[in-house]
Amino acid sequence: MLDAIGIFVVAFQLFIFGYFIILNGTYTIFTFVAMRRIRAHSATASLKSLQDITSGAYHKPVSIIVPAFNEVHTIVASARSLLLLQYPEFEIIIVDDGSTDDTFEELRRAFQLAPLKKPLRTVLTHTPITDLYMSVRHANLFVVRKTNGGKADALNAGIDASHYPLFCCVDADSLLEPDALLRAAKPFVDDREVIASGGLVRVLNGCVVRDGMVEEIRAPKKGIECIQAAEYTRGFLSGRMAWNAFSSLLIISGAFGVFRKDLVLAVGGYYPTVGEDMDLVVRLHRYCCENNLRYKVVFVPEPVCWTQVPSDLRSLLRQRSRWHRGLVDTLWRNRTMFGNPRYGTVGLFGLPYFALVEMLGPAIEFVGYLGFVILFLLNWVDPEFALLFLVVAVLWGIWINVAGVMLDNLVFRRYRDLRDVLKLSLYGSLEFLGYRQLLAAERLISTFQWRSGWGQARRQKIESEVGEKREAET
């Protein structure tokens, strides 16, 4: 009996140890791969090459689609920031998804909207469009009003109302940097195989915003926001850059992504799920592989989209739960791609990684923490080994997060003040002391609730100092 328990305990410890090595080893490899790729990318995406795009015929026009549901606090600032984008030819389509607050009234007041009786060609599935408006002040600003159908539904309506061959989806609570669209759309004119590109999403909390523009970049004030800022930096710069290198990028953030419209129409647009952004990218991979199309889905590190992150634990847990449910849903609906060589590196490498590490990771981690405590209490773990292992785990975790912040600072240098960089590094180091475990537990619970909906979001008003504004519930 004791032998059986012994074998089980050894197997359990080896499994957890192996998982830990694979997880952190992957993150470390990703950091080094990202370092090389970002350096190469920075060399090719120079200021001169952007000037070429703005100066001549060397661009493709873009429709920016902004789905908005009860975004009264953020929508006008967001639209103003979009109007300031440096891009030769673009239109902004705000889709009011049946808001019950004053979102539309705010827009009407701010931009002098006039009704437009343009007949629309409906290709994608969405709830009926009730009205179409055009700004009298800005000829490239349109507002589509429709009955409520969710974010994916609103995006589909926006695509149907758009005119240009590329479209860019932007969250209503996000701000784009003036050259963000130029940088995100550049791969489409450089390389005919690019079908989708995503940019870097950074944390807006703590920054100084004026007239829809981020004027001063500062680290957030609250600890929970700082940890997320470090997490975003690592996730986007190391994670997505490395997936890019392995041609297996499965996520383009819903907050900011550019897509080729013809292909999105071919796959039927967005699917109504909480993870509609990942779902679309996976279906694009699938469609192109099944039709033997040469294609690229790319992550571009410089175009920056600033977004608000939750500043309280409840909203954060809700957001992560939603992300996890989206992930499970997408993986489940595309399960035929798993390990299937027909889908190239995405099928053989990307999806299995996401399933084993991202989807099942919380369960494995949680079992690991719980098992470790039980074994420790039963005196079945050598205390010295346990302590040394814990130190290795914490140091490795800190290294990965600090490397992410360093990577950002080596190439982009957004945070001008050394104190901000050190603050992010410090909070990044604290991620492994409670924060990660809490999120793992929430994600584990979400795994069993993946059919439920979006839930309510909390928004801060985008104004001068976002970090200091009191939260307003929508």
Give least dist CB 104 to other proteins, A.
20
> Which is nearer to other proteins, 8 or 332 (by Cβ)?
8
**Under rule CB under 8 A, residue 36 binds other proteins:** no
Restricting to residues 134-173, name those near other proteins by CB under 8 A: 134
**Under rule CB under 8 A, residue 55 binds other proteins:** yes
Query: Which residues lie closer than 8 Å to 133 by C-beta, 6 or more apart?
Result: 108, 113, 114, 115, 116, 142, 143, 144, 145
Q: Which of 58, 164, 287, 369 binds other proteins (CB under 8 A)?
A: 58
Query: Which residues lie closer than 8 Å to 319 by C-beta, 6 or more apart?
Result: 310, 457
**Under rule CB under 8 A, residue 470 binds other proteins:** no
Q: Which of 128, 341, 377, 379 binds other proteins (CB under 8 A)?
A: 379
3-state SS assignment for residue 78: helix
Measured CA to CA, the distance from residue 257 to residue 198 in angstroms comes to: 4
Phi, psi for 84 (deg, rounded to 5): -85, 0
Are 254 and 276 in contact by the 8 Å Cβ rule? The answer is yes
DSSP category for residue 245: H
CB atoms within 10 A of CB 473: 8
CB atoms within 10 A of CB 223: 13
Which residue stretch of 77-85, 103-111, 402-410, 452-460 sits at the interface with other proteins (rule: CB under 8 A)? Answer: 402-410
Q: Which of 133, 396, 427, 435 binds other proteins (CB under 8 A)?
A: 396
CB-count exposure of residue 14 (10 Å: 0-12, 13-18, 19+):
exposed
Give least dist CB 34 to other proteins, A.
15
Q: Which of 363, 410, 433, 438 binds other proteins (CB under 8 A)?
A: 410
**Under rule CB under 8 A, residue 10 binds other proteins:** yes
**Under rule CB under 8 A, residue 454 binds other proteins:** no
Give least dist CB 43 to other proteins, A.
4
Q: Which of 100, 109, 137, 192 binds other proteins (CB under 8 A)?
A: 192
Residues contacting other proteins: total by CB under 8 A: 63
CB-count exposure of residue 456 (10 Å: 0-12, 13-18, 19+):
exposed
Measured CA to CA, the distance from residue 168 to residue 155 in angstroms comes to: 10
> Can you list the positions of beta strands (E) in 264-378?
296-307
**Under rule CB under 8 A, residue 117 binds other proteins:** yes
Restricting to residues 338-377, name those near other proteins by CB under 8 A: 375
CB atoms within 10 A of CB 374: 11
Q: Which of 1, 128, 292, 294 binds other proteins (CB under 8 A)?
A: 294
Measured CA to CA, the distance from residue 164 to residue 265 in angstroms comes to: 13
Q: Which of 20, 287, 399, 454 binds other proteins (CB under 8 A)?
A: 399
Which residue stretch of 40-48, 72-80, 88-96, 223-231 sits at the interface with other proteins (rule: CB under 8 A)? Answer: 40-48
- Chain positions contacting other proteins, by CB under 8 A: 5-6, 9-10, 13-14, 17, 39-40, 42-44, 46, 48-49, 51-52, 55-60, 116-119, 121, 134, 188-194, 294, 375, 379-382, 384-385, 388-389, 391-392, 395-396, 398-399, 402-403, 405-406, 409-410, 413, 418, 421-422, 425
